[in-house]
């Protein structure tokens, strides 16, 4: 309508939601389960950008082709080698976990991609990726990336107690789930502690690493914290249910958003999918891993989850199953309605 205020539009790449991940070492299965969770629940078409060691490329190609056609038609995949455009490649590779620093170079490498969601390999979608993709439309004119806080409570946070470098806000940021407007990142000059006039993203990375490398513990995540410490106006902070980690429940529930809405994206950091320290997280991972693509979601995914959760009630995370199940149940109902009710309605003859 004439004179009506216009809200920011979502990017033109909306037709294809871009999802990036970096996989090295033994992260093949974990990455595939993450991609599986994205495909199971998302509505729009997905474009996977998989950065992997050369030895993993044929395995990714083989495994993705084995998925049923009803799902492979929902995505396209691109597999890239591990490359670093500036600095010493061996230094970047050894920064924190193998190859994790690759994520810092996504704006440089994916020059034709407007926006994307980066996730660590140990992430699981419990609702459509479409829902976090919508947050791109909520960015104001200066925001170019979105992350969740590292902690909800600064008094028990790692950054607020131990960091020896600048970090964002009062508790720092966790970079395991990061929404990025690459076009804005490429066109911005960032304030920093190196040069008063500002630097482009690519110009800034290696000098920033050189300056702080003796003070950082969590590698690329620390560098991102330093960048957004100097450029807080560039960051959109999304709530903890979009990056829900064991820290949000293992000492008692401290993610209010998840309590109210349920977990949207699960982040099983510290290897909790593969040990017995957090059986609730492991149960979700294994049930999604073992779910046959074409089976009924309620019978072969939701009900097994409920059953597995009964075995985790002795843990603090296991005492709040509704936090883990709320979004996944809601999502499955939507999938059911789209596939069954809408289909039947469209084909019903009077």
Q: Encode 152-190 in three state secondary structure.
A: CCHHHCHHHHHCCCCCCCCCCEEEEEEEEEHHHHHHCCE
At 2 the three-state DSSP class reads coil
Separation of alpha carbons 46 and 21, rounded Å: 13
Task: Kindly state the tokens that stand for 144.
Answer: 């170019």
Please state the pTM of the whole predicted model.
Answer: 0.90
Report the length, in residues, of the chain.
350
* Strand 75-80 to 45-52 pairing: parallel
Run of H or E residues at 335: helix 321-336
* Strand 145-149 to 173-181 pairing: antiparallel
Specify the residue for token string 């396209």. Answer: 76
Ramachandran angles phi, psi of 118, nearest 5°? -100, 135
Separation of alpha carbons 222 and 21, rounded Å: 18
Concatenated DSSP letters of 100-137: GGGGGGHHHH-TT--EEEEE-TTEEESS-HHHHHGGGG
At 254 the three-state DSSP class reads coil
Show the domains of the chain with their CATH numbers: 17-238 (3.90.550.10), 241-345 (no CATH)
- Is the separation of the CB atoms in 216 and 165 below 8 Å? yes
Please, where are the H alpha helices in 127-278?
A: 129-133, 158-162, 182-187, 201-212, 220-230, 256-261
- Reading the chain (350 residues) residue by residue, the pLDDT tens digits are 343 333 444 444 448 999 999 998 899 999 999 999 999 999 999 999 999 999 999 999 999 999 999 999 999 999 999 887 666 666 766 665 667 788 999 999 999 999 999 999 999 999 999 999 999 999 999 999 999 999 887 777 778 776 788 888 888 999 999 999 999 999 999 998 888 889 999 999 888 888 988 888 877 899 999 999 999 999 999 999 999 999 999 988 999 999 999 999 999 998 999 999 999 999 999 999 999 998 888 899 999 999 999 999 999 999 999 999 999 999 888 877 776 665 555 555 44
């Amino acid at each position: 309508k004439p004179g009506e205020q216009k809200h920011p539009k979502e990017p033109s790449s909306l037709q294809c939601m871009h999802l990036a991940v970096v996989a090295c070492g033994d992260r093949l299965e974990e990455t595939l389960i993450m991609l599986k969770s994205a495909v199971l629940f998302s509505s729009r078409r997905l474009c996977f950008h998989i950065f992997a060691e050369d030895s993993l490329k044929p395995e990714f190609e083989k495994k993705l082709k084995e998925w049923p056609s009803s799902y492979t038609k929902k995505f396209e995949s691109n597999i890239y080698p591990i490359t670093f455009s500036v600095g010493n490649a061996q230094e970047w590779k050894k920064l924190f976990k193998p190859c994790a620093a690759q994520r810092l170079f996504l704006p440089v490498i994916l020059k034709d991609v407007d926006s994307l969601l980066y996730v660590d390999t140990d992430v699981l979608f419990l609702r459509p990726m479409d829902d976090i993709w919508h947050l791109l439309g909520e960015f104001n004119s200066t925001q170019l990336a979105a992350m969740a806080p590292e902690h909800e409570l600064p008094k028990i946070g790692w950054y607020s107690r131990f960091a020896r470098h600048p970090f964002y806000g009062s508790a720092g940021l966790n970079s395991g789930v990061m929404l990025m407007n690459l076009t804005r990142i490429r066109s911005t000059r960032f304030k920093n502690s190196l040069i008063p006039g500002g630097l482009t993203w690519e110009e800034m990375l290696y000098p920033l690493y050189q300056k702080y490398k003796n003070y950082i513990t969590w590698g690329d995540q620390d560098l991102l914290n330093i960048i957004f410490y100097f450029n807080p106006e560039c960051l959109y902070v999304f709530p903890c249910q979009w990056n829900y980690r064991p820290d949000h429940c293992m000492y008692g529930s401290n993610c209010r958003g998840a309590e109210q809405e349920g977990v949207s994206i699960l982040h099983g950091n510290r290897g909790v999918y593969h040990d017995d320290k957090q059986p609730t997280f492991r149960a979700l991972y294994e049930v999604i891993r073992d779910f046959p693509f074409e089976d009924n979601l309620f019978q072969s995914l939701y009900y097994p989850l409920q059953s597995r959760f009964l075995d985790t009630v002795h843990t603090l995370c296991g005492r709040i199953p509704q936090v883990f199940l709320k979004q996944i149940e809601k999502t499955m109902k939507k999938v059911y309605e789209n596939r069954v009710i809408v289909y039947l309605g469209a084909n019903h003859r009077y």
